[in-house]
Structure 1
């Protein structure tokens, strides 16, 4: 049995380089960039009009000219034109290239058009309503740094520099495994002594939020079957996430099976609740990392968020992020266990506050749908007081 901080440290010590792959731009949302994205030209690439109106040379205004001869109409997508010398202008639409020798755009609201002439109603400011070439970014500037998770807004940037394909960190191949004779398919009607599978489906759904499509398997409580199927999984996957079979029951064969397959136990059992029987190991030959969580739903869900997601972030070379909340109630945490307490949260005066959720323990599956996450509380002599700031591990998006 080891303490929580040691277990957490050991898990993060066993990350590995996932490598890089190239994916289509349309499939890159949510993936982690593995290359710096640079501007392939100035942004914007030309002086562009930000208003519908007329483009003119401000020197004419300085000389007292307020009426200009219209030379034509410019729209977005047209090649650049040249403004003839003299009291001339072009009508110009938003997004169009400002013509050579024009340096100011006056919007239609300040222009009267009549018989091929445009008269401005008030003195403009030189350079107004023009988005100057290179004003946003210069050629060669880094627009997106590697190690960033690609957002919908980033897709627009990638498209603008012609990245039809993008280098991203490879997602780990993950297999989610449940064990137990008591589990039946979701579509089945369970007998009084049976329950429907839920943990593997919850884990697979959580992984899909990370843009990872996991394979799901189920093993009966038979040591021979478990060893045979685990051997196959260890060869084909980077990570195994198991739920169940790691406690001290006579049918909990996972630890022994792992040892027989050359999976080195890093630790088994942590001073924490829920999830005390958590087993973690590595198979060096196949470079497979094994997270074997207790079978209770809350234990599995807590350990996934507390240990696996930080492991994944480090493997992806994403920065570590710590969330905090203010307690709305006092909580007593006696030694020696670290507690992961389910909470609901709400905003109050721009502060996120948490209230402990009354649940039925680590087997209370329905409590997970009510909670926003867990607060991580280390044991101490005095209770955590109302108003105290504590670590928060969200399990859903917090609005």
Structure 2
């Protein structure tokens, strides 16, 4: 049976090849860039007026001086030239020829005719001018390959003219729940039945990556499972099963995977919850077969599958730690994943409070917590004040 770190290493050693696709800018939010984005010209592309006011030759003017004003340079107009002592300028306009300093309206006193103005506050030569190329030079990398596109990145993409954006293509993913006790969410279950929750839960988590997974449910019937699996491996790159991989007489999936030519990489990890986790590969993709208990299934996704997708998209998930705020005892020689509520102490440290609750079937307790805390297998007593790694999911 593999350790948690061994399982992680083996999973991360199996990556799918990345493909690239072009999407319209309006559809790019949440996707991952497939190329560096370069500045197509200097930023800003001209000496830009940074305040509404007048523009002057700074070294030739002084406080208290009465200046003649002629003309106005508006944003979006071609560059004009200085014709008198000063020219009015608007924020965002190109700086007119012959001037180097902008005095804001608040620091001016106008004569009644509006043609003469007096500077009433001290200024520095060159002030309120956003110089050509002072932010970025042409050819400079503005966004790095594999950056996730948010509204901020959309603004950059728009300003460099990327109406179509090259992004990492989304892998085709299927979420497959198994179990005869499961009925559709909209059904009224019999006493011996429960509604399907793992499938919707996993599909919802996949939306973090922009993936719209197809959902299936299969009965605990070996023939049905084999027939369905043969079609799934032809149409999907990632198969995410939940249930059917433990030690029960109706847990057919390990045998079905073998019969369908899927290569087992491991089955069972020395952890609680989620010990029956199964992982395998086929020529076109990967199979993650998670335990059927909701907390076990969710934990295995958060601990292994979510970071695998991060690696696939070239994203970097932060490695995070928190301080345990109470003692925990756990004797089995297994890595323990504890649901914790996160908060900040008065000293600014991130604190983790175990939330308790039922076993791995108590999915409601996931809502009371924010993360899983990973407690190593070489200890039995985990002392208050010690620091351990966490895997947030909120």
TM over 0.5: yes
Matched, 1:342 2:339: yes
Is the Cα–Cα contact under 8 Å of residues 64 and 118 in structure 2 kept in the other structure? Answer: no
Equivalent residue for 1:135? 134
Matched, 1:314 2:311: yes
Equivalent residue for 1:383? 381
CA distance in 1, matches of 2:379, 2:390: 21
Q: Secondary structure at the match of 1:55?
A: strand
CA distance in 1, matches of 2:379, 2:74: 73
Matched, 1:10 2:10: yes
Matched, 1:221 2:226: no
Matched, 1:288 2:285: yes
Q: Secondary structure at the match of 1:147?
A: coil
Between 1:260-269 and 1:374-383, the stretch displaced more is 374-383
Equivalent residue for 1:277? 276
Gaps of 5+ in 2: none
Deviation at 1:335? 4.1
Equivalent residue for 1:177? 176
Between 1:186-195 and 1:25-34, the stretch displaced more is 25-34
Is the Cα–Cα contact under 8 Å of residues 18 and 170 in structure 1 kept in the other structure? Answer: yes
* Mapping for residues 15-94 of structure 1, pairs under 5 Å: 15-61=15-61, 66-84=65-83, 87-94=84-91
Q: Secondary structure at the match of 2:363?
A: coil
Query: Structure 1 residues 259, 382: closer, same or farther in 2, change over 3 A?
Result: closer
CA distance in 1, matches of 2:317, 2:106: 51
Work out which of the residue numbers 323, 326, 333 in structure 2 matches 1:326.
323
CA distance in 2, matches of 1:199, 1:303: 12
Is the Cα–Cα contact under 8 Å of residues 335 and 380 in structure 1 kept in the other structure? Answer: no
Matched, 1:152 2:181: no
CA distance in 2, matches of 1:320, 1:355: 22
Q: Deviations over 1:75-134 (max 9, x none)?
A: 2111111112xx521111111111011100001111112221121113321000111111
Equivalent residue for 1:260? 259
Paired residues in the alignment total: 391
| TM-score with structure 1 setting the length | 0.95
CA distance in 2, matches of 1:223, 1:261: 11
Equivalent residue for 2:360? 362
Q: Secondary structure at the match of 1:336?
A: coil
Deviation at 1:175? 0.3
Q: Secondary structure at the match of 1:265?
A: strand
Q: Which runs of 4+ in 1 moved over 6 A?
A: none
Q: Secondary structure at the match of 1:305?
A: helix
Is the Cα–Cα contact under 8 Å of residues 220 and 250 in structure 2 kept in the other structure? Answer: yes
Deviation at 1:170? 1.4
Q: Deviations over 1:211-252 (max 9, x none)?
A: 111100000111111111111111111101110000111111
Equivalent residue for 1:95? 92
Is the Cα–Cα contact under 8 Å of residues 16 and 285 in structure 2 kept in the other structure? Answer: no
Is the Cα–Cα contact under 8 Å of residues 333 and 377 in structure 1 kept in the other structure? Answer: no
CA distance in 1, matches of 2:192, 2:380: 42
Is the Cα–Cα contact under 8 Å of residues 334 and 380 in structure 1 kept in the other structure? Answer: no
Query: Structure 1 residues 381, 325: closer, same or farther in 2, change over 3 A?
Result: closer
Gaps of 5+ in 1: none
Query: Structure 1 residues 300, 381: closer, same or farther in 2, change over 3 A?
Result: closer
Deviation at 1:321? 2.3
CA distance in 1, matches of 2:118, 2:180: 86
Matched, 1:353 2:351: yes
| TM-score with structure 2 setting the length | 0.96
Q: Secondary structure at the match of 1:315?
A: helix
